[in-house]
Chains A and B, each alone.
Chain A
């Protein structure tokens, strides 16, 4: 996704505004990657760059410590990753993402061509040298030159000697790698050697040291670039070179180079005019071809080197296109490369071609060849640089802060400022500039010192190839796998989601004050209070001296008559489907009904269709009673009892028991004398009415012993033909007991306690309401 920010360490996506990876803790924002305005003014390489023109945004600079990674990589015996420490591609182009590519790939991109070229040269492959110009774009600039068009060096082959003349331009184009971080899009001027006879002197190489530190970089007095080597003796002097001091400020450097057109070098193939005219014109429009990436639509110059007689080709070093600091490495690499036998036979093959000797350059000015695998920094220097990079951006020395170069100052200072203006620390940072570079162990030492300090490592934590995200050796990983694997259906997930939403809705804060404000003095609140007070007053008023039992539902009388009409030893099925919570309420009625059944001497079988109904109501005395217990099946059991009662109750075992003689001919509910259902569940009552009612419409019937809460549900079914009656609640029990002549004292006491609780509740309700209201008013007055 475009708005994601991938972690350079673990590669997982993160929110675009995240600074630290949410998965591994690596820093996503490099130190100094997004400098502030003040930082930009104080740091980076702006002191040797021209200010950006208005309206053109400057690409964000990358990590200012990125150059360290190049050292770090080289110290590991690998080729330096130039892409990483190349700060930006060029103007107008986004900075490359050095951390996006794997380290090996980046190393290969940087050192691979050189090594391969060295190997090829060692094997005397002319094609490799010929392809050198095609790869003339410094490979380490690869990421920054995404759309860069490599200069098309078309070495003309003359008389079968196709040595690439452009290879001679190597020394001249040697751009200090350490400068890459600072200059970014700056490069040494390109010297295009001509291929004419006698003109093959690598003048550009001789001028290389002078270009090693870009002259214009010295003090702002920019020196003209060294033009391409003249092709013809005397005649091929680059005229533009003389004019260069005034024009040399690269126009591509000053303003936007987007619409800059590169010169089209049309080399002449004539012997006497073998110099490329473009070389003479070069300084005026001298846009390095490799800068094409930054210029976008910049056209790289078509350097068609003219070849003449092939002599120049012989004089030019074959590996001249390689930076001299790579010679040592290429030599080492070439030694380790197996050369096919057919190539070894060629005598001119040289595994270690001589590096171009910068003849005119003094020894101290000549840049030392870069020695890969080592870092030209001491421990103290590296610490100092790290400190600069970690903390506030390192401000360059004041004497190095250059003003915008002007042609006049360039002319004045160009000759002798090129060395003096190179910062000392920058020169020391150059690879191979001073002393043996520290190895990776040195870096590790420095970084290990910083582990004790809480501030030091944080600046580098998370930077690829520098430090891990955490100081531990093993990166802690968050366990993403759930401890349990739940397999949920879609419907279950929906239900879980509903439940979760319900719970979240419960926790959601609500404006409780709004509801109470509307109710505070509203008529609704007064109405509710009045109703409650009326109820409480009625309870209190009617409880004094009344002490009468309420009138039960007349259905108890039908139940009583149905049981009274039973013959002796009649088979009666009792179903106890009550719950424990309603046992105290049901027990008086159940006891009355069981007593009545006992008096009639029935043969009862008690079952329960719910597991918790077993053993709730023991059988009556005087009756033959057989508890079966829980019988599963629910509704189907009720249907089964209609036709296969013995099988449903016994499950194939012998049935009935010896004592239940009246049950021997019973095959279903219609043969039973009565079915008594004890339940507090209206659903159970309904099911019994629906399932067993039609089968009991004859001589048998249903009698319910139920709770008062079932009464409203059960009333519509009392008119069903199969239902004979119902004893409902405590009042029904009292009436039944009175009809049986049983003592009702215990039931009366229960009823009186019930009334007392009602009175107590009413009084409490009145007192609590009045007290709370009064206290509230008092508190409100005090607040006012």
Chain B
């Protein structure tokens, strides 16, 4: 049984890889079938996650736990959004209204809070672990805030040029190195999957 699982996983992976490099007609059709199955499974996973989340909060609401009002709001909005989107579709009037005045403001608020939290954690890190990484974080925050402030508000080309140079010589190489490392990691992971060195589809 274990051999069957590994064979199936390896077969599908190798077939997808072959079809990527040699997109022949029959193979391409088979490839799209695989993609469709994957999409269906992903959608099912989403539905399952939605079900578990609703169940979890519903139990908390029934048992009147401490945060039951928040759970009630969550379940109410969940049901409302689900029903409206189900009836009108993603482009409906009420669906867009919920998106514009519900989801997007909430997401923006969370995004802003994330910025505050990151800043706070950076300073906390500087207090508790004053290593080079913490210092680089703090110095980077101060430096780029200052650069952006100067660039935004002065509008002088010299300042803009200085900021752009700083980005090219410091930020872009760092990000590029990060991207290269990420790409190498992805390649390595893919090869390990193809050679069944890593088998996430079965228990260890």
Contacts and interface: CB of A to CB of B under 8 A. Distances in A.
A482 interface: no
A712 interface: yes
Contacts of B111: 581-582
Interface stretch (B1-9, B32-40, B51-59, B72-80): B32-40
Interface string A571-591: 000000001111110000000
Given A531-B142, A580-B104, A581-B111, A648 B153 contact: no
Given A515-B130, A611-B46, A549 B155 contact: yes
A542 B153 contact: yes
B9 to A, nearest CB: 16
A758 B149 contact: yes
A627 interface: yes
B179 interface: yes
A586 to B, nearest CB: 11
B152 interface: yes
B192 interface: no
Contacts, number: 126
A295 to B, nearest CB: 60
Interface string B169-199: 0011001100100000000000000000000
Interface of A: prevailing SS? helix
B20 interface: yes
B62 interface: no
Instruction: Place the interface of chain A in its size category.
Output: 35 or more
B145 interface: yes
A648 B176 CA distance: 31
Nearest to A549: B155
B10 interface: no
A633 interface: yes
Interface stretch (A263-271, A465-473, A636-644, A768-776): A636-644
A142 B42 CA distance: 72
A515 B155 contact: no
B145 A487 contact: no
Interface residues of B, number: 50
B200 to A, nearest CB: 9
Contacts of A611: 46
B176 to A, nearest CB: 5
A490 B204 CA distance: 7
A516 B153 contact: no
Interface in A631-671: 632-633, 636-637, 639-640, 643-644, 647-648, 651
Interface string B4-41: 00000000000010001001000010011001101100
Interface in B94-111: 95-96, 99, 103-104, 106-108, 110-111
B35 A583 contact: no
A539 B20 contact: no
Contact of B142 (A532, A543, A579): A532
A531 B145 CA distance: 10
B107 to A, nearest CB: 4
A712 B80 CA distance: 40
Given A515-B128, A716-B175, A615 B155 contact: no
Interface in B137-175: 138, 142, 145-146, 149-155, 157, 160, 167-168, 171-172, 175
B179 A551 contact: no
Contact of A632 (B42, B99, B106): B42
Interface string B104-125: 1011101100000000000000
B145 A633 contact: no
A538 B35 contact: no
Contacts of B35: 632-633, 636-637, 640
A61 B67 CA distance: 59
Contact of B204 (A491, A614, A637, A643): A491
A614 B85 CA distance: 12
B76 to A, nearest CB: 20
A712 B28 contact: no
Given A611-B46, A615-B90, A633 B39 contact: yes
B42 A528 contact: no
Nearest to A583: B104
A725 interface: no
B155 A584 contact: no
B87 interface: no
A408 interface: no
B179 A686 contact: yes
Contacts of A341: none
Contacts of B32: 640, 644, 647-648
A648 to B, nearest CB: 7
Contacts of B28: 643-644
A584 B108 contact: yes
Given A515-B127, A637-B35, A548 B204 contact: no
A510 interface: yes
| Residue from A580, A640, A648, A651 with most neighbouring chain B CB atoms (10 Å) | A580
A328 interface: no
Contacts of A543: 153
Contacts of A686: 179
Contact of A551 (B106, B160, B168): B160
B96 to A, nearest CB: 6
B23 A546 contact: no
Contact of B172 (A490, A644, A648, A716): A716
14 contacts: A531-B146, A546-B155, A551-B160, A580-B103, A580-B106, A616-B99, A629-B90, A632-B38, A632-B39, A636-B35, A643-B28, A686-B179, A715-B172, A758-B153
Interface of A: 487, 489-491, 510, 512, 515-516, 519, 528, 531-532, 534-535, 538-539, 542-543, 546, 548-551, 579-584, 611, 614-616, 618, 627, 629, 632-633, 636-637, 639-640, 643-644, 647-648, 651, 682, 686, 711-713, 715-716, 754-755, 758, 762
Given A539-B153, A581-B111, A640-B31, 10 more contacts: A535-B142, A538-B153, A542-B150, A542-B154, A546-B154, A549-B155, A581-B107, A581-B108, A615-B90, A758-B149
